[in-house]
Amino acid sequence: MGEPERVRVSGTTEKIRGIVASSIIFLSAFFGSFYILLPLLPLMFINHTLWRKVIDRLVGFWLILPSGILEFIYGIKFTVTGQRLENNEPALIIMNHRTRLDWLFFWNALLRIDPWLLTSQKISLKKLLKYIPGAGWAMSCDMFIFLSRSFEDDCSRIESLIKYYQNSGYNYQVLLFPEGTDKCERATERSRLYALRKGLKHYAHVLHPKTTGFAFIVSKMREVNYIRNVYDVTIAYPDTIVQTELDFIRLGACPRNVHFDIRKIDIGSLPASRTDLSSWLIDLWKSKEERLEKFYSEQDPEKRRLDTEYDAQSFVITKGHRKVQVCVVTFWLFLTGVWTFVFWTYPSQLLLVTLGSIIFIGSQVLYDGIEWLAVRVAGGRIALIERDRSYTERSSDFAERNNGSFSKIK
């Protein structure tokens, strides 16, 4: 039977649903940038470590809103199996990139495993998304990795952010899509031509991974001792393919079911060299293609399941987590309503929005985004600490030498 067809048309009800849901997400992120993130920016310079912790918590708290919208408005069902992600260990998460919404749906999987993962997960996304007013600014504050799809341009950025994560003192799980882009029609054709040139098998369900970036990230995370595990995540859509954000917004389309399976791989079991890491990833993706082929070979979409390992768990949302989700969604809906009312009622709020826009856009022009301003601030703080430490050590050595001299004089 194969993969389901991509959704290209929808009814009036679905389109209204898409407008309402996307408006809620946009307005909450837009006003949240001005009423929450903007007032917190001075804390970046005063106490950077505290700023980092507060922003991680606030953005993670907000991510529960879109997760709730997906379940309460769109009615998506999530099946999450495999091994638990640990939020107290630095890790790399790799996932096949079937649609441009995979990362959005992954938040619902994290909510089922451990809601605290929403505060410690960082995502690598295409650079264009950072320029979305509100949401893009929030992702920049949360130190997401924005890639230009050129390894030569991205490698220094990746290395700087890995060092930033490591120096922050917090444990993050970085989500990477090794395929580099979603499996749209154009990317699928490029992958087919690539396989033809290289004498490789053309995959039906995944793209051939770009191994250079993966090997580079693993190597750099190893260099700074900032990786404990690699999590191999497979995502599958049994009944519906919604390819892009525009399909989600304009058509109001969403899959009815989304499946995730997670496999935990100790970093010690991965090869040491970048060449061998590349080969390891190629073999893993071959296995992933076979798993997805088996998944889609089931004729009945309702019976489709990803194969799991013997010790796999099934993660369902607990009653406690569901209550938290409902309360948090209600909170953000209320707050967004208040912000919208205040903005349209009091003309003075336009000054705040103008000032905030100048600051956020200005940071993109001057520093390429808030995240790079944060890297500079953190780098200066670390340099100051190292300078003070060096001064203390030199002073201590000087005192010891002088004490020895005084003892001889006595």
Contacts of 32 (CB under 8 A, 6+ apart): 62, 134, 138, 335, 339
What is the full per-residue pLDDT of the chain (410 aa) written as tens digits?
689 989 999 999 999 999 999 999 999 999 999 999 999 999 999 999 999 999 999 999 999 999 999 999 999 999 999 999 999 999 999 999 999 999 999 999 999 999 999 999 999 999 999 999 999 999 999 999 999 877 788 899 999 999 999 999 999 999 999 999 999 999 999 999 989 998 889 999 999 999 999 999 999 999 999 999 999 999 999 999 999 999 999 999 999 999 999 999 999 999 999 999 999 999 999 999 999 999 999 999 999 999 999 999 999 999 999 999 999 999 999 999 999 999 999 999 999 999 999 999 999 999 999 999 999 999 876 554 455 455 455 555 545 655 555 444 44
Supply the pTM of this predicted model.
Answer: 0.91
Give the residue extent of every domain in the chain: 12-409
CA distances from 62 to 35, 77, 193, 208 (A): 14, 21, 41, 34
Annotate 365-393 with b (16+ C-beta within 10 A) or e (fewer).
eeebbbbbbbbeebeeeeeeeeeeeeeee
| Beta-strand relationship, 229-236 and 173-176 | unpaired
Task: Decide if 117 contacts 346 (C-beta within 8 A).
Answer: no
Nearest one of 126, 100, 112 to 254, comparing CA atoms:
100
CA pair distance 370, 140, nearest whole angstrom = 6
CA pair distance 269, 174, nearest whole angstrom = 19
